[in-house]
Amino acid sequence: MNAEEKFLSHLKDIHLAFPKLKIILEHATTEAAVKMVKSLGETVGCTITVHHLQLVVDDWAGKCHNFCKPVAKYPSDRAALRNVVKEGKFFLGTDSAPHPSHKKEGPDSCAGVFTTPLVFPYLATILESFGALDRLRGFACDFGRAFYEVKNEKWVGEVKLVREQWNTPEKYSFGGEGLDGEKGDVVPFMAGKPLGWKIASIN
């Protein structure tokens, strides 16, 4: 729940022992993690999920569909994540967990949120809310490719977004052949809440 900060000194030790080794701190959630990664060399990068740019502790405490691990932290931590999105060393790390509703809504709620179908509409809406819409492509596509030194000629497609007000679906249904007959619903991140962007096409 709060182990991230305890690990940061080990991250520093690993970097100092292997300064040429590329290391990624996945799914940072704290201001302390942002400060540590920024203090290390160019071989250390960091990812941030879509939902950690939006959630704070009050959004998941007692609200099972926003419960994930690592848990979202305090407003100051979210502010640090949002501020660093503009700097290029941090990039998107998607983390989507399509747990059926009945496994989220109970005393042993599974950790994770479901973002897969709407990652780009979520991201555009959230980035725009704190004045970072111009970093959409960089954060989602370019900064990570640059860190891993992936050449641009390997693009596999393009997602086109359009500005449109609409509401996130309340649920996605699944079931049928190939799933052992199991049927159910998955509640997506920000279910029923407004988004300002929509996917127009994927090429």
149 vs 40: CA distance, rounded Å: 19
Of 129, 108, 111, residue with least CA distance to 66: 111
- In angstroms and rounded to an integer, the radius of gyration of the C-alpha atoms of the chain is 18
DSSP assignment of 28-46 equals --SHHHHHHHHHS-TTEEE
Active site residue 95: yes
CA distance 93 to 54: 14
User: Distance between CA atoms of 112 and 97, rounded to whole angstroms?
Assistant: 5
Measured in whole angstroms, how far is the alpha carbon of residue 159 from the centre of its chain? 18
- Residue 174 · residue 187 · CB < 8 Å: no
Rounded-to-integer distance, Cα 46 and Cα 20, Å: 16
Q: Catalytic residue among 13, 95, 180, 185, which?
A: 95
AA letter at 150: V
List, by residue number, the catalytic residues.
Answer: 95
